[in-house]
Structure 1
């Protein structure tokens, strides 16, 4: 039986929705500066209508759990929780940094990726990832191993970590053009991939769904990385 997954992401300036249905992917991507709350639900309705199904006919909900902007990550988590509770769906949270690495793999064939999203305040959300091929029920999937764990750090700290690595890496994300520490340094393999998209979260979520590695709606928790960020817990959490 084919799996149907609905993915959404509002963690950055981009707003995106994607659907895996009958083995095919469809997606909608928009730039939505400060309009995520107005656009995300109509985009979800549109993509479900394109496929001719309702939310209850999906098997699981996938969402970008961060890191990203405080408001954007919180909006995505809240929408995902509300939809999952209403339709009684399991949830699969996906790292936005890893989603960009997956895009680098699918579009550029990159198996080693450095991810940097501009976090403002002279910091970036940063990680280094290595692709590894795994098989599950006669299908091959890509999973990502962290060479540099997700963190929020200053550009100079990221450069010091990069200098400790060997080999070539594809660079993805808005962070690389945001700060002079990066632009003045001769770093190779800068890609055109700047922001995460929900369509690449589907590839990451499918093997997790097959292996029943999901959570319930009440377990949803945004990932901000900044310790000083405080937030009111989502409805349903103690």
Structure 2
């Protein structure tokens, strides 16, 4: 799959945009939680200018659909819908937790001779003493979901059920990514059966990792009218994916 794809994300403190043209990827990233609406469209224009292409040449739009900041998620969704409707583009919604897991795989695969992170626990601070979270497996360099995104208060028994049913034991090193680890490191670590390999450089999602997930066909295209935010605030229990 080699298309001209634009990816945008404002679901967390990061405002990021990435443009894939063939094998080249251009990106802009800024941690600016109160400036997303001012930064995102200029980022898009800069990327198009750098790659010397126009909006009319885009073949698809990738958007971070959440979970994350309610306001941030809505900004990206609104801009994505506007661009997609104007150019009649298919839209690929990617959840923030899977993007974080892909970020961890990209950033740490093979570093210092270490094995690729096999299991990644992505966690985003959801405020109100809660986290958004999901588990992912590294399969050939791609973050494949083991559980659906959910929200809950971190605690020592949070992952007992899913880890047991997924047969993840105390010998498995789990990589940690996301801002949930900043706020609740000890509670999250205590809830896991074995050691944690925390990746503090993978705190926030980046748009170029969404492109990798789309290229790996982890995401299905939808129309702009079908695009909706992924809030998951009403989810209080974990869900194992079918077949897992």
* SS of alignment partner, residue 201 of structure 1: helix
Q: Is the 8 A contact 2:101 2:143 kept in 1?
A: no
Alpha-carbon distance in structure 1 between the residues aligned to 2:231 and 2:222: 19
Using the TM superposition, give the Cα deviation of residue 143 of structure 1 relative to its aligned residue in structure 2, in angstroms: 5.2
For structure 1, the 5+ residue unaligned runs are 134-140, 229-238
Deviates more, 1:167-176 or 1:105-114: 105-114
Matches within 5 A, 1:75-90: 75-90=75-90
TM norm structure 1? 0.84
Using the TM superposition, give the Cα deviation of residue 34 of structure 1 relative to its aligned residue in structure 2, in angstroms: 1.4
2:184 maps to which of 179, 183, 197: 179
For structure 2, the 5+ residue unaligned runs are 110-116, 236-244
1:205 maps to which of 214, 223, 237: 214
Count of matched residue positions in the alignment of Structure 1 and Structure 2: 218
Tell me how large the CA RMSD over aligned residues is.
2.3
Deviates more, 1:219-228 or 1:27-36: 219-228
Distance 1:9 1:2, change over 3 A: same
* SS of alignment partner, residue 214 of structure 1: coil
Deviates more, 1:156-165 or 1:55-64: 156-165
Distance 1:37 1:94, change over 3 A: same
Alpha-carbon distance in structure 1 between the residues aligned to 2:188 and 2:223: 42
2:112 matches 1:113: no
Using the TM superposition, give the Cα deviation of residue 188 of structure 1 relative to its aligned residue in structure 2, in angstroms: 2.0
Note the alpha carbon deviations across 1:40-59, whole angstroms, 9 max, x for none.
10110111110001111011
